[in-house]
Amino acid sequence: MIAERIKKVFMLPQREQLDPPAPNLHLTVLITETTSESDCKMERTYGYEYKTYYQIADSHSHNGDHILIQFYVQSVSDAHILLSSTSFPIDTDPVYEIVLGAGRNTFSDIRRLQKTKTKSTAITPDILSSTNLKGFWIRYFVKGLIEVGEVGNDVPFLFWQDTEPLTIRFFSFCTWGGVAGKWIFDCPTASTGATPSEAVQREMTLVEKLRRDLLTYYDPYARPVLQEDQRTVVSMQLTCHYVKLNEKKSTLTQWIDEKLKWDPDHYGNISQLNLAHHEVWTPEVVLYNAAGHGADILNEAGLVVNMDGRMCWAPQASLTAWCQLDLSAWPHDQHSCQLVLGFWSQQHLLDLIATQNTTMLSEQKTRSEWEVLRLEEKTAWTGSPWIEGNSQSDGEFTDMPTSNLVIQLTLRRLAQSYISIMIVPFIVQVYSWGMVASTISLLSSIFVIGLTRYSHLQPLPHVLNKYLAARPTRLLLCLPQTSLDSENYNQLEENHVPTTSTSSYDIQQQWVNLATVIDRVSCIVYCLFLGSILAAY
């Protein structure tokens, strides 16, 4: 009973007792000394959302003088009361919104629309309390006058006259973002014992109805079992996505939630439901042999719940564990690493088992420098994951055994990139000398073409011409047969006409022979240079 504790606060003012409202009054809430808090309706709100609407009894007639709504609220600030003609109005529908303790509990408003169109404001510092219930009343006259006051004081501290009054049929409560509120209202009268309003059920889809029925009283911090001694089996399957001797994996986790079962015939044959991870219980999996803290390894991800309570959760996980490395065969090295997963708490009530990974190793694409050769998962039982040496000599556990998931991962380094890094510099060095040889060959070709294309007036020096015509030179360089003397050399004619000793053709042929010698020698030098480069590298 709360009568004695808040006797003075919950008593109606004397004026209300001596001057009762008109006979057709629609909503009058009385709390007397014999009324307990359990006899009233109670609603808790959090954030700015009008979730539940209450219909005022017999509001369709609306022939009375005024409507009186009396309630008690406990909130740090921003207590919102909505008066509307329809249930679940949208933001643009005309309503009356009364805000108590707005602006960090400094003023109060009457608005004509939700969140906007303020019509009246009153300075009300500390009008609300985060520790105690504060009583208020709202009077709405059919001619459009709205009055707001405190229980125990018949004089309103906030009022406004609407020239275009609404027909009020429904009311609702809420607070503001990040603000919680407790509301007590609709206490039975001493004469009838009846409550003057009734909650209105919003039209919901089958999915919304299923979510409401499953999650209304669901506690995400309690294990999903109906009997406390029942163990929860969590099966896990892992697929590697990225490995850098700290590995990122995609985990497929499944378990049975006894609290989330339904008959699909009652919900339009809905057999699956998508939920956010924070709405239901999820296992707290940790990495026991982590190189860091090892907690919160499973990232946020949505869940799929089936009609039989089977939960399917596929979050990503980043695992960083110690691993013994052997770099003697680098860059063709292989490493075997072990990951030990378990639960953070309630290990004796939870079982972590491995499901067979049907993913082929060829599909374990890590997109990194490592290749997954083998991925083995097994369930191991230990006495306590945090304490070593907790088993007896005969193999029995001194504590209640707990299950761990042991993952054996064998990795091989992909050495192609390292091989390329080591070989490419040598190729570039060889190629650079090859470019030098090509440049020399190009210059010699230009020189040889110049010697053969252009006509020459002067013959080669006699010594050079004699060397080119020598037999060893012709045999070594494959030169054609040439003669140093002209056809009429040492011949006498009676009618001798003086001419040049060498014709222009012979002069040009001498230069062609020189160009041929240079070309042959350049070819030999190029071959020797290229052979030395290949021999050096």
Q: How high does pLDDT run on average in the chain?
A: 76
pTM value surpassing 0.85: no
Higher pLDDT, 453 or 122: 122
pLDDT at 166: 93
Matching residue, tokens 């004026």: 15
Q: Decide if pLDDT at 191 tops 70.
A: no
CA distance 120 to 68: 19
- Tell me what pLDDT residue 123 has: 96
- What residues does 42 pair with on adjacent strands? 184
Contacts of 420 (CB under 8 A, 6+ apart): none
Could you read off the pLDDT of 55-74 as tens digits, one per residue? 987 643 344 688 899 999 99
Is the pLDDT at 102 greater than 80? The verdict is yes
Q: Name the β-bridge partners of 43.
A: 183
In angstroms, rounded to a whole number, what is the distance separating the alpha carbons of residues 303 and 285? 16
Region of poorest pLDDT, from 75-79, 138-142, 199-203: 199-203
Average pLDDT over residues 13-42: 48
What whole-number distance in Å separates Cα of residue 478 and Cα of residue 480?
A: 7
> How far is residue 281's CA from residue 353's CA, in Å, rounded to a whole number?
18
Lowest-confidence pick of 39-43, 116-120, 378-382: 378-382
Q: For the residues 141-158, what does the mean pLDDT come to?
A: 94
Which residues in the chain are classed under CATH 2.60.120.560?
7-201
Is a pLDDT exceeding 70 seen at residue 3? Answer: no
pLDDT tops 60 at residue 497: no
Does the pLDDT at position 481 exceed 80?
no
Of 169-173, 235-239, 267-271, the range with the lowest mean pLDDT is 235-239
Q: How many CB atoms lie within 10 A of CB 321?
A: 21
What is the dihedral sign for C-alpha 253, 254, 260, 266? Answer: positive
Dihedral sign (CA 158, 161, 164, 170): positive
- Asked if pLDDT for residue 446 goes beyond 60, the answer is yes
Class of domain 7-201: mainly beta
Name the burial class of residue 111, with classes exposed (0-12), middle (13-18) and buried (19+) by CB atoms within 10 angstroms of its CB: buried
> Can you tell me the distance from the alpha carbon of 50 to that of 98, in angstroms, rounded to the nearest whole number?
13
Q: Decide if pLDDT at 413 tops 50.
A: yes
Indicate where the chain has its CATH 2.70.170.10 domain(s).
Answer: 214-414
Confidence of residue 393 (pLDDT cuts 50, 70, 90): very low
Kindly state the tokens that stand for 23: 């006979």
Mean pLDDT of 504-519: 82
**The predicted structure's pLDDT at residue 23:** 34
Q: Does 392 or 102 have the greater pLDDT score?
A: 102
Of 82, 122, 79, the C-alpha closest to 104 is 79
Q: Tokens at residue 213, please?
A: 């029925």
User: Residue 100 has what pLDDT?
Assistant: 97
pLDDT of residue 21: 39
- 3-class SS letters over 144-162: CEEEEEECCCCCCCEEEEC
pLDDT confidence of residue 181: 94
The answer to which of 2-16, 60-74, 109-123, 268-282 has the lowest mean pLDDT is 2-16
Find which of 165-179, 227-241, 328-342, 413-427 is predicted with most confidence, using mean pLDDT: 165-179
Q: Given a cut of 60, is residue 360 above it in pLDDT?
A: no
Is pLDDT of 325 > 60?
A: yes
Residue 322 has pLDDT above 60, yes or no: yes
Bridge partners, 41 (sequence order): 185
Give, for 421, the enclosing helix (H) or strand (E).
helix 416-453
Question: Strand runs (DSSP E) across 383-502, as ranges?
Answer: 402-413
Which of the listed ranges 46-60, 155-169, 406-420 does the model predict with the highest average pLDDT? 155-169
Number of helical (H) and strand (E) elements in the chain, helices listed first:
8, 24
Tell me the average pLDDT across 352-359. Answer: 62
Pick one of 3.40.50.2000, 1.10.340.30, 2.70.170.10, 3.40.50.460 as the CATH number of 214-414. Answer: 2.70.170.10
Which pLDDT score is estimated for 164?
Answer: 93
Pairing of strands 350-354, 232-243: parallel
Phi and psi at residue 109, in whole multiples of 5°? Answer: -130, 155
